[in-house]
Chain A
Amino acid sequence: MEEYNKLKHMFDKGALSRRDFMSGVAMIGAGMAVAPTLLSGTAQAATPKVGGNFIIGMEGGSATDSLDPRTYSDSVMIGASLAVYNCMVEFDSNGNPTGELLESWEAKPGAKEWIFNVRKGVKFSNGKTLDADDIIYSIGIHTGETKSPAKGILKQITEIKKINANQIQMTLEGGNADFPVILGDYHLIVVPNGFTDWQKPIGTGGYTLEKFEPGVGLKFKRRGDYWKAGRANFETVEIRNIQDVAARTAALQSGQVHAVNRLDPRTVNLLMKDKKLNVVRTKGTGNRFCFVSRVTDAPFDNKDLRTALKYGIDRQKIIDQVYSGFATPGNDHTLDAGNPFYNTELPQRKYDPDKAAFHFKKAGLGNAKIELQASEGAWGSAVDCAQLYQESLKKAGINLDVKKVSADGYWDNVWLKVPFCAVYWGRRLSADQTFSQVYSSASDWNDSNWKRPEFDKLITEARAELDQKKRKEMYWKAQEMISDDGGMICFAITDYLDGYAKNVMGNEPHARYDLNDERLAEKAWFA
């Protein structure tokens, strides 16, 4: 029972997700039957209650924001967008796709042709009823002559055909078993056919926009006739841009906001002691921090050097010192453990100076200096990580030269250009997207320049495979290949840390993003 109490304590403090708690409880043999009642204080206990003005303080917005989905790139606009619009596909808390405006779907064998059923009886805020044309238009704004970031993922669609008012057929250039997952991209929100005035958004979401001041905040009002039962429970919702983490924390502590994103890992342990607050931790689905070498540039074309560099990084030390323990070690590929296809049997690579020294010697480079370029432009603490890396490599007898470069223009001038530099990758929608965007020969963003025809073949085959078991085997193999041979040292994947006032419900961790998959406005309620 002592072990149980520890788990319960960690869960209450938010240090443990609901899922971790459950599996922990199952492991120590405490009855699953009692667990849910004990959890009722924090999780989905009561049925949602309607009312209140909910204020979220968020980082990730700018004075340059707009409600045009083709410009979304950070949390404030994504969260705001999901309050007024709906997506085509939503995800359950385990990360599996479920129907949203596309209610259900079916693939023909080969996963090339898909039939989607459009949800019936859904109304836009201007009264119009949703039909297939709206969906087709909403996909269309991201294709053709556009700067939409979603253009790339939609390129695979060769034909969209309206079967009837509530059915659409899409044909792809090749089979893609994860296509519904792709349609869950947050850029793909649905607007009425022909809609263009992005300053006055019309959507099917639970709220309507009252006020929008870019870089300052947004205000929403409950529609009242939302098609999702039990969702969108606040009378009004406000999103405030609060860039500074100390300001966000102070606003939460003084009760001026009810929820904040991206708490500071260094102070979160203190916040957990505050009786008025809840801290919710989403484990290891955040940013993937990597040092990436171009395997076509000398000396990184030497596999032994790459192996030495992978063994020579002290992942746990970086996580403990830079992220105060709120991150998960990476295994030199960018898929996270929340993904259903994560290879759980691939041994986690650990710091081993002896092995690093062995492989470095085998690489036959003498005592050559290796230059790593890092910058705050890559991510805030990239230089700190690089310096710890330098220290841990020294113990293996490898000299790393950390060159700090300008944050300005980092993605233009350094990344994809220099042989060894810092980079972070965000979560991708699916395993296939992760592999094909970061590691396939055809990708513009293959930053390690690691091109292996057998890998390309493997992921192309896996993409069209509708048999989940076979696909899993293929993706496990793919992770093994990247981890062993690739040019990427992926050492940490961050946790998301949200803070909530005690009376905010519906804020459990999600397998994808923070703030309950960025849908806090519609999923939360006041107790």
Chain B
Amino acid sequence: MLKTIVIRVALGLLTLWAVSILIFGATEILPGDVASAVLGQGATPETLAVFRHELGLDRPSYVRYLEWFFNALHGDLGIAMTNKRVIVETIAPRLTNTLFLAGYAALIAVPTSVVLGIVAAINEGKFIDRFVNIISLMTISVPEFFIAYVLILYLAVQFEVFPSLSTVFPEMDFSEKIYTAALPAFTLTMLVMAHMLRMTRTSVLSIMSQPYIEMAFLKGLTRSQVIVRHALPNAAAPIISVIALNLAYLIVGVVVIEVVFVYPGIGQFMVDGVAKRDLPVVQACGLIFAGAFVGLNTVADVLAIMVNPRLRHPR
């Protein structure tokens, strides 16, 4: 088992390295460059040349890749081309905010959806099963901004329960942050719940047709005992990977939510970077996103190996 895990982690690191090349390559082939994006419609060839030279954009790309890669290994992501700020310093609070929101939403969404999924499986075909299925499907079927605007309309504008502007600041205390970020967290919860809930329900139910489950019933256990004791541990692997995927989505895929709620996360930061062709910023964000994705998936795989009785005791 240890060997499987080590291989899995090594593969994760290799993926990350490959992704770093892809990120660099992709930012290289974006049409236009930072100079023309920053100067905009008002650029003249002369000012463009001055600016490009100032930024070192006139050097070959492999030199810039190697320089960037080794600096990144040392935790130095460079300086933003547009406003000359140190990227690590500007990205850190943004990343903290993103992780805070993702964690907030996950803490509500993961337990709720796993429990509801199990409840639905226990009551397969009954009212409660149909009800949670329909509600979760409804929330995943509408665009994310729609849920966001509906929540804003009712909970912020009509009844001023929560603020519509969820801008959190570092100097806010924890409870204040929880209150401010409530609406985006609720929205995200609704978005990711359906996926996890349905996966839990389906994998539990698919285990239910196995012979050993029938055995458990025959020895006289109740339906809920069978599901929690016998079905769930064997159904855990797909559930864990779906949770990991959704956690990764909460970190990297919430630009729209950030924009609607004016939440200062890393998504909007990257979009601004792309719009202004600020390559170091885009690359830094890309690397962090890739890291989150690869990292969470590796953790999910390792966990899946560890919880699965058959993988834990290979014959």
B261 contact set on A, CB distance < 8 A = 247
CA A463 to CA B84, docked complex, whole Å? 39
B19-60 contact mask (Cβ, 8 Å, vs A): 1 or 0: 000000000001110011011111011010011001000000
A68-100 contact mask (Cβ, 8 Å, vs B): 1 or 0: 100101000000000000000000000000000
Q: Mostly helix, strand, loop or mixed at chain A's interface?
A: loop
Whether the Cβ atoms of A63 and B272 lie closer than 8 Å is yes
Whether the Cβ atoms of A408 and B31 lie closer than 8 Å is yes
A243 contact set on B, CB distance < 8 A = 259, 262, 268
What are 25 A-B contacts defined by CB distance under 8 Å? A62-B272, A63-B281, A64-B273, A73-B38, A146-B47, A152-B44, A214-B83, A214-B85, A215-B264, A215-B269, A216-B167, A240-B165, A241-B262, A243-B262, A244-B262, A246-B149, A246-B260, A247-B259, A250-B153, A250-B156, A253-B157, A256-B163, A409-B30, A411-B32, A411-B41
CA A146 to CA B53, docked complex, whole Å? 11
Whether the Cβ atoms of A406 and B31 lie closer than 8 Å is yes
Q: How many positions in chain B have a CB within 8 Å of any CB in the partner chain?
A: 46
CA A406 to CA B31, docked complex, whole Å? 10
B123 within 8 A of A: no
CA A254 to CA B159, docked complex, whole Å? 9
Which residue of chain B has the shortest Cβ distance to A219 in the bound complex? B169
Whether the Cβ atoms of B47 and A63 lie closer than 8 Å is no
What class of interface size applies to chain A in its complex with B?
A: 35 or more
CA A145 to CA B30, docked complex, whole Å? 27
Task: Identify which of A63, A71, A253 contacts B90 (C-beta below 8 A).
Answer: A63
B80 within 8 A of A: yes
Whether the Cβ atoms of A149 and B42 lie closer than 8 Å is yes
Chain B nearest CB, measured from A45 CB (Å): 29
A188-209 contact mask (Cβ, 8 Å, vs B): 1 or 0: 0000000000010000000000
Chain A nearest CB, measured from B89 CB (Å): 11
B268 contact set on A, CB distance < 8 A = 63, 215, 243
A444 within 8 A of B: yes
Whether the Cβ atoms of B157 and A254 lie closer than 8 Å is yes
How many pairs of A and B residues are in contact by the CB < 8 Å rule?
124
Known A-B contacts A149-B39, A216-B264, A243-B259; A256 and B273 likewise in contact (beta carbons under 8 Å): no
Whether the Cβ atoms of B164 and A247 lie closer than 8 Å is yes
Which residue of chain B has the shortest Cβ distance to A145 in the bound complex? B50
Interface residues of A in 256-295 (CB under 8 A from B): 256-257
B67 contact set on A, CB distance < 8 A = none
CA A213 to CA B265, docked complex, whole Å? 12
Whether the Cβ atoms of B164 and A64 lie closer than 8 Å is no
CA A411 to CA B93, docked complex, whole Å? 33
A412 within 8 A of B: yes
B275 within 8 A of A: yes
Chain A nearest CB, measured from B240 CB (Å): 34
CA A45 to CA B160, docked complex, whole Å? 31
Which residues on B are within 8 Å of A, measured CB to CB? 30-32, 35-36, 38-42, 44-45, 47, 50-51, 54, 80, 82-85, 90, 93, 149, 152-153, 156-157, 160, 163-165, 167, 259-262, 264, 268-269, 272-273, 275-276, 278, 281
CA A483 to CA B38, docked complex, whole Å? 32
A144-187 contact mask (Cβ, 8 Å, vs B): 1 or 0: 01111101100000000000000000000000000000000000
Interface residues of A in 314-329 (CB under 8 A from B): none
Chain A nearest CB, measured from B114 CB (Å): 32
Chain A nearest CB, measured from B132 CB (Å): 30
B157 contact set on A, CB distance < 8 A = 250, 253-254
Whether the Cβ atoms of A256 and B83 lie closer than 8 Å is no
A146 contact set on B, CB distance < 8 A = 47, 50
CA A199 to CA B89, docked complex, whole Å? 14
A376-410 contact mask (Cβ, 8 Å, vs B): 1 or 0: 00000000000000000000000000000010110
CA A445 to CA B44, docked complex, whole Å? 9
A445 contact set on B, CB distance < 8 A = 41-42
B50 contact set on A, CB distance < 8 A = 145-147
CA A412 to CA B45, docked complex, whole Å? 11
CA A57 to CA B163, docked complex, whole Å? 14
Which residue of chain B has the shortest Cβ distance to A447 in the bound complex? B41
A240 contact set on B, CB distance < 8 A = 165, 167, 262
A71 contact set on B, CB distance < 8 A = 38, 82-83
